[in-house]
């Protein structure tokens, strides 16, 4: 039997990053993954394939709707969905192969099979052909999450599907019904709306992306409506059924009346739940919290001292970069260092077009806390760069402390917002004031000038181009 300093269970962005950092710090490290392809949800059925399809579908949308304005005339434009999906698979493979390389480079032993605790230090790995056992002084649980469903909705993976199947469709749906107006619903809804599907989103609350700053959901709704999305807010889904190629979704509208939606596919996107099935937590004595997550303290340590847990399987945002930071944090704690994560400064992004990105406190949170704040807003309509690229929807909003001018939150919707938000994160990590950002030179013409202008607007209402 092999002995390790650290065994990591799960090879998503939490697990593989934890393994790399453990190896860098001199620990003899093993990683256990039940699938033959490393990279977890993120690389195989999440972040990477969804972005590949978002990019492809955006090219099609632009070619169809915007190229002629640029003076580029195309004839007989059509979607080749098979090629689009094949390219997505290729992108996934390039990325998962990259993780194989990183494991080899860092001398991390990879075990393929279902990892299950036999005790707090022994793990069984059940592969397709054989079963092995290893001993590990420390373990890191990084087993991630799986899609949630709703009472009355049975996912058959053919017509009533999750994001995993939606990334592998072999045809463009005629009418895609989406339950949930959150991140997955809007990203994958965008893919198929751009390719020509009718898309109806049924959302339980009264807005899209309801956990983000309210202004973002409102603006996104306006833009997506122009692209043909239909939205049904304050609707409670009560069931879904399939007959042949047809799906019927039933719901209660805001008045309580029963309504029906008929389409050919239904995507269930109502959140994800932590995944611990078959992990043998009971044999190790690891406790869960009231929401089925592995319970951890501020150091991501479980109630069993030598077992830690990170990523989607523990509390907090279900984001790849959050999982990665946690992987690094645990490795460094094991090495006796004193790392820290500022959870308030983990950015959130929605990869629609325009993109939505945010970091720090929302206006709603600041209002609720009674904090006095200033607001600086700059619309992309007023940006020379955005006019040149015909990306005039959206804005950057900077919230700053009314007394000290420290930036408290940045919320943006616009072109390349996913990349622009990094400036806000850096500024806030260094506790910059809005004036600091307003006084820094930003290259012209760039989308990033909107961040400078919104900061100037927050700091004494002195935007230059408004
Ligand atoms: P996971 O990536 O879920 O990996 C867990 C791994 O553990 C899996 O490979 C699983 O097979 C393995 N495993 C589980 N149990 C065992 C066991 N007992 N033995 C061995 N192996 C086991 N986040 C972003 O930040 N940006 C995005 O753009 C983004 N897009 C997304 C798009 C979609 C469609 C989805 C579904 C998610 C997206 N996410 C995105 C979320 C992101 O994928 C997750 O937050 C992230 O993958 C969590 O990482 P993790 O390491 O905790 O777990
Ligand atoms: P989500 O939490 O983003 O959205 C779920 C939505 O479904 C919410 O708006 C919620 O109000 C709604 N909802 C819940 N129950 C409902 C019901 N009964 N009827 C109608 N609507 C209902 O979850 P998701 O979109 O499934 O994504 C899961 C996770 O994956 C998220 O936590 C997200 O962080 C992560 N993810 C991130 C990205 C990204 O970072 N770009 C992309 C995809 C997924």
Rounded to the nearest angstrom, the distance between the alpha carbon of 16 and the centre of ligand 2 is: 24
Please report which confidence band the pLDDT of residue 446 belongs to, taking 50, 70 and 90 as the band edges. very high
Q: Which fold has domain 160-270?
A: FAD/NAD(P)-binding domain (3.50.50)
- Ligand closest to Cα of 203 equals 2
Any atom of ligand 2 within 6 Å of the Cβ of 268:
no
Rounded to the nearest 5 percent, the helix, strand and coil shares of the chain are 35, 25, 40
Q: Flag whether pLDDT at 258 surpasses 90.
A: yes
In this predicted model, what pLDDT tens digit does every residue of 406-438 receive, in sequence order? 999 999 999 999 999 999 999 999 999 999 999
In this predicted model, what pLDDT tens digit does every residue of 50-74 receive, in sequence order? 999 999 999 999 999 999 999 999 9
Residues 6+ apart with CB under 8 A from 331: 6, 18, 21, 22, 24, 25, 27
Q: Are 212 and 240 in contact (CB under 8 A)?
A: no
What integer best gives the mean pLDDT of the chain?
Answer: 98
Any atom of ligand 2 within 6 Å of the Cβ of 319:
yes
Any atom of ligand 2 within 6 Å of the Cβ of 417:
no
The pLDDT value given to residue 1: 87
Q: Which atom of ligand 1 has the smallest separation from the CA of 272?
A: 36
Rounded to the nearest angstrom, the distance between the alpha carbon of 453 and the centre of ligand 1 is: 37
Any atom of ligand 1 within 6 Å of the Cβ of 40:
yes
CB-neighbour burial class of residue 446 (10 A; exposed 0-12, middle 13-18, buried 19+): middle
Separation of CA 416 from chain center: 16
Q: Which atom of ligand 1 has the smallest separation from the CA of 318?
A: 45
Q: Which of 35, 95, 143, 277 to mutate to test the pocket of ligand 1 (most atoms within 8 A of CB)?
A: 143
The torsion angles phi and psi of 259, rounded to 5 degrees, stand at -130, 155
Any atom of ligand 2 within 6 Å of the Cβ of 195:
no
Token duo for residue 24: 């860098």
Please report which confidence band the pLDDT of residue 336 belongs to, taking 50, 70 and 90 as the band edges. very high
The pLDDT value given to residue 99: 98
Class of domain 2-147+273-343: alpha beta
Report d(CA 16, CA 96) in Å as an integer.
11
117 forms bridges with which residues in the sheet?
A: 123
Report d(CA 319, CA 65) in Å as an integer.
32
The pLDDT value given to residue 438: 98
Any atom of ligand 2 within 6 Å of the Cβ of 376:
no
Please report which confidence band the pLDDT of residue 269 belongs to, taking 50, 70 and 90 as the band edges. very high
pTM of the model: 0.98
Q: Which atom of ligand 1 has the smallest separation from the CA of 310?
A: 52
32 forms bridges with which residues in the sheet?
A: 9, 111
Q: Are 414 and 380 in contact (CB under 8 A)?
A: yes
Considering the chain, what percentage of its residues have pLDDT values greater than 70?
100
The pLDDT value given to residue 64: 96
Any atom of ligand 2 within 6 Å of the Cβ of 266:
no
Any atom of ligand 1 within 6 Å of the Cβ of 41:
yes
**For the domain 354-458, what is the CATH code?**
3.30.390.30
Token duo for residue 334: 């094991």
Rounded to the nearest angstrom, the distance between the alpha carbon of 189 and the centre of ligand 2 is: 12
Half-sphere exposure of 338 (CA within 13 A, CB side): 0
Report d(CA 266, CA 161) in Å as an integer.
6
> Is residue 340 among the annotated active site residues?
no
Any atom of ligand 2 within 6 Å of the Cβ of 160:
no
The torsion angles phi and psi of 278, rounded to 5 degrees, stand at 70, 10
Report d(CA 464, CA 54) in Å as an integer.
34
Mean pLDDT value of segment 186-205: 98
Report d(CA 286, CA 141) in Å as an integer.
10
Assign residue 90 a region (left: φ > 0; alpha: ψ between -120 and 50; beta: otherwise).
Answer: alpha
In this predicted model, what pLDDT tens digit does every residue of 93-116 receive, in sequence order? 999 999 999 999 999 999 999 999
Q: Which of 190, 212, 270 to mutate to test the pocket of ligand 2 (most atoms within 8 A of CB)?
A: 270
Please tell me which residue in 59, 65, 299, 444 is annotated as part of the active site. Answer: 444
The pLDDT value given to residue 72: 97
Any atom of ligand 2 within 6 Å of the Cβ of 316:
no
Separation of CA 11 from chain center: 17
Q: Which of 152, 161, 178, 183 to mutate to test the pocket of ligand 2 (most atoms within 8 A of CB)?
A: 183
Please report which confidence band the pLDDT of residue 176 belongs to, taking 50, 70 and 90 as the band edges. very high
CATH 3.50.50.60: which residues of the chain? 2-147+273-343, 160-270
The torsion angles phi and psi of 159, rounded to 5 degrees, stand at -110, -35
Rounded to the nearest angstrom, the distance between the alpha carbon of 444 and the centre of ligand 1 is: 38
The pLDDT value given to residue 104: 98
* Ligand 1 atom 47 nearest Cα: 42
Angle between helix 47-65 and 183-194 (nearest 10): 40
- Ligand closest to Cα of 141 equals 1
- Ligand closest to Cα of 272 equals 2
CATH 3.30.390.30: which residues of the chain? 354-458
């Amino acid at each position: 039997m092999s002995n390790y300093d650290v065994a990591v269970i799960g090879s998503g962005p939490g697990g593989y990053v934890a393994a790399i950092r453990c190896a860098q710090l001199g620990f003899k490290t093993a990683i256990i993954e039940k699938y033959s392809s490393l990279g977890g949800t993120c690389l195989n059925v999440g972040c990477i394939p969804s972005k590949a399809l978002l990019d492809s579908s955006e090219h099609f949308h632009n070619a169809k709707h915007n190229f002629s304005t640029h003076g580029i005339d195309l004839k007989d434009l059509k979607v080749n969905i098979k090629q689009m999906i094949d390219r997505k698979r290729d992108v996934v493979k390039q990325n998962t192969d990259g993780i194989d390389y990183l494991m080899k480079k860092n001398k991390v032993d990879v075990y393929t099979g279902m990892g299950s605790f036999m005790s707090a230090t022994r793990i069984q790995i059940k592969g397709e052909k054989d079963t092995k056992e290893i001993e590990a002084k420390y373990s890191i649980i990084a087993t991630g999450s799986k899609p949630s469903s709703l009472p009355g909705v049975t996912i058959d993976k053919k017509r009533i599907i999750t994001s995993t199947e939606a990334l592998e469709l072999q045809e463009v749906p005629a009418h895609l019904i989406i339950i949930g107006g959150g991140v997955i619903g809007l990203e994958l809804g965008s893919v198929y709306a751009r390719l020509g599907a009718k898309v109806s989103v049924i959302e339980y609350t009264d807005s899209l992306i309801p956990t983000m700053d309210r202004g973002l959901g409102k603006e996104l709704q306006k833009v997506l409506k122009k692209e043909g999305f239909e939205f049904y807010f304050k609707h409670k889904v009560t069931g879904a059924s399939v007959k042949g190629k047809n799906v019927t979704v039933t719901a209660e509208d805001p008045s309580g009346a029963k309504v029906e939606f008929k389409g050919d596919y239904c995507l269930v996107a109502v959140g994800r739940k932590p995944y611990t099935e078959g992990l043998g937590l009971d044999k190790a004595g690891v406790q869960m919290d009231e929401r089925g997550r592995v319970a951890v303290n501020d150091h991501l340590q479980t109630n069993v001292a030598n077992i830690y847990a990170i990523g989607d399987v523990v509390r907090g945002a279900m984001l790849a970069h959050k999982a990665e930071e946690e992987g690094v944090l645990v490795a460094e704690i094991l090495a006796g260092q004193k790392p820290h994560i500022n959870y308030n400064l983990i950015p959130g992004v929605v990869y629609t077009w325009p993109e939505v990105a945010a970091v720090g406190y929302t206006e709603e949170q600041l209002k609720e806390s009674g904090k006095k704040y200033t607001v600086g807003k700059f619309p992309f309509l007023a940006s020379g760069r955005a006019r040149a690229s015909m990306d005039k929807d959206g804005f950057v909003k900077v919230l700053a402390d009314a007394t000290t001018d420290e930036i408290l939150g940045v919320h943006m919707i616009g072109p390349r917002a996913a990349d622009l938000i990094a400036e806000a994160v850096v500024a806030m990590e260094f506790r910059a004031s809005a004036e600091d950002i307003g006084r820094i030179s930003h290259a012209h013409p760039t989308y990033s000038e909107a961040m400078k202008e919104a900061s100037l607007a927050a700091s004494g209402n002195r935007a230059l181009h408004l």
